[in-house]
């Protein structure tokens, strides 16, 4: 099944619904970074949450989510755009913590700190608008509850959030990932809020539904007990980094001339690694000499 995200509502109810299956993109991110099971869950939940938030944005806009934390994971970064491209990493992919009640101890690897969300926006005429950013304290370290707290406090949209990653005990492979966000919009009745809160709290976990083959829409239907959900938009999701060999050459060109001369003198070239996706790029001595010859280096 292709990873997918949907944007939906319930006719006649002031509610916004976001839901996604992200198994493939989370598995790819964790494979690239060789994360432990707990780190995979933390990274996967953050990637999923960022992908859901980006679904509310316009083309060429993007959302960046960062957990600046004091747990052994050291920090988490996820970036998603409105086209469905999602990427991210953790600072320490080997972070781990003792299981808690038989489950992965995500809070144990995250610890305390702050959650940062940045949104790059565009005006109707296509020009860049003033970016929006919000910061809240990490309230649980479980990621999903932190997303809910951020949306409710910083963006002032009461939200219920379920994010999950299921990792195989023996192989450490990601077998299921995804989640959903239910948001109450202005004008929602108190009884609607109480009913949705009760349904979300008693709903099966997102990964449980995904393991059974549920689509993003079916997850919402099961969680909310409603068959009248109307899908307004849907998009594919994928793990995709914007790094390239050309971007690395541009960065080298921005270095002082003396630094590039030193690389040339070493006579071995450079093997450069993208910290976001771990893709590697070889820069040869001829490439470095071309930077100097073309007078691209300062």
**Are 287 and 219 members of one domain?**
no
**Are 227 and 163 members of one domain?**
yes
Strand order in the sheet with 132-137: 132-137, 113-120, 62-69, 76-81, 85-90, 238-239
**Domain-located, residue 60:** yes
Geometric angle at alpha carbon 166, from 160 and 170, rounded to 5°? 160
**What average pLDDT does the chain have?**
90
**Are 196 and 165 members of one domain?**
yes
**Domain-located, residue 78:** yes
For residue 228, how many other CB atoms are within 10 A of its CB? 11
**Are 164 and 272 members of one domain?**
no
Is pTM, for the whole model, over 0.85? yes
pLDDT at position 56 over 90:
no
**Domain-located, residue 159:** yes
Q: How many domains does the chain fold into?
A: 2
Domain end position, chosen among 214, 239, 264: 239
Domain end position, chosen among 197, 221, 239: 239
CA distances from 62 to 101, 117, 144, 231 (A): 36, 11, 20, 22
**Are 40 and 158 members of one domain?**
yes
**Are 16 and 145 members of one domain?**
yes
**Are 120 and 171 members of one domain?**
yes
pLDDT at position 44 over 90:
yes
Token look-up 């491209």 returns 85
Q: What is the CATH number of the domain that holds 284?
A: 3.90.1280.10
128-158: pLDDT as tens digits: 667 788 999 999 999 999 999 999 999 999 9
Q: What is the CATH number of the domain that holds 17?
A: 3.55.30.10
**Domain-located, residue 190:** yes
Higher confidence at residue 256 or residue 240? 240
171-184: pLDDT as tens digits: 899 999 999 999 98
Q: Which domain holds residue 221?
A: 4-239
pLDDT of the residue at 235: 95
Q: What's the mean pLDDT in 11-35?
A: 95
pLDDT at position 125 over 60:
no
Nearest alpha carbon to residue 86 among 36, 49, 132: 49
**Domain-located, residue 181:** yes
**Are 153 and 252 members of one domain?**
no
CA quadruple 236, 238, 242, 246: dihedral positive or negative? negative
**Are 151 and 261 members of one domain?**
no
CB 48 within 8 A of CB 26: yes
pLDDT at position 297 over 60:
no
**Domain-located, residue 188:** yes
Token look-up 């610890």 returns 111
pLDDT of the residue at 249: 87
Distance, CA of 54 to chain centre: 9
**Are 30 and 158 members of one domain?**
yes
CB 147 within 8 A of CB 137: no
**Domain-located, residue 298:** no
Geometric angle at alpha carbon 179, from 177 and 184, rounded to 5°? 175
Report the percentage of the chain scoring pLDDT > 70: 95
From CA 147, how far away is CA 143, in angstroms rounded?
Answer: 6
Higher confidence at residue 156 or residue 121? 156
Confidence of residue 298 (pLDDT cuts 50, 70, 90): very low
pLDDT of the residue at 196: 84
Least confident of 128-132, 244-248, 256-260: 128-132
**Are 136 and 259 members of one domain?**
no
Locate 287 and state its tokens: 């490439």
The per-residue DSSP string of 25-40 comes to HHHHHHHHHT--HHHH
Q: Which helix (H) or strand (E) holds 76?
A: strand 76-81
**Are 149 and 225 members of one domain?**
yes
């Amino acid at each position: 099944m292709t990873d997918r995200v949907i944007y939906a509502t319930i006719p006649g109810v002031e509610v916004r619904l976001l839901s996604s299956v992200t198994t493939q993109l989370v598995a790819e991110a964790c494979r690239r970074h060789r994360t432990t099971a707990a780190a995979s869950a933390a990274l996967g939940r953050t990637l999923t949450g960022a992908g859901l938030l980006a679904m509310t944005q316009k083309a060429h806009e993007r959302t960046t989510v960062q957990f600046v934390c004091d747990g052994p994971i050291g920090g988490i970064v996820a970036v998603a755009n409105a086209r469905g491209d999602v990427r991210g990493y953790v600072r320490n992919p080997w972070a781990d913590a003792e299981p808690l009640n038989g489950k992965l101890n995500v809070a144990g690897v995250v610890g305390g700190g702050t959650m940062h969300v940045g949104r790059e926006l565009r005006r109707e005429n296509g020009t860049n608008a003033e970016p929006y950013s919000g910061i809240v304290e990490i309230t649980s370290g479980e990621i999903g509850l932190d997303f809910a707290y951020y949306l409710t406090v910083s963006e002032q949209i009461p939200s219920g959030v379920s994010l999950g990653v299921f990792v195989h005990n023996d192989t450490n492979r990601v077998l299921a990932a995804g989640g959903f966000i239910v948001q109450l919009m202005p004008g929602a009745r108190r009884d609607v809020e109480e009913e949705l809160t009760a349904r979300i709290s008693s709903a099966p976990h997102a990964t449980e539904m995904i393991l059974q083959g549920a689509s993003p829409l079916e997850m919402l239907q099961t969680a909310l007990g409603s068959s009248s959900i109307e899908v307004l938009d849907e998009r594919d999701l994928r793990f995709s980094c914007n790094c390239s060999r050309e971007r690395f050459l541009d960065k080298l060109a921005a270095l002082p001339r003396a630094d590039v001369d030193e690389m040339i003198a070493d006579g071995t070239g450079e093997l450069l690694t993208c910290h976001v996706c771990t893709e590697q790029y070889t820069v040869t001595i001829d490439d470095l000499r071309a930077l100097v010859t073309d007078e691209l280096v300062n």
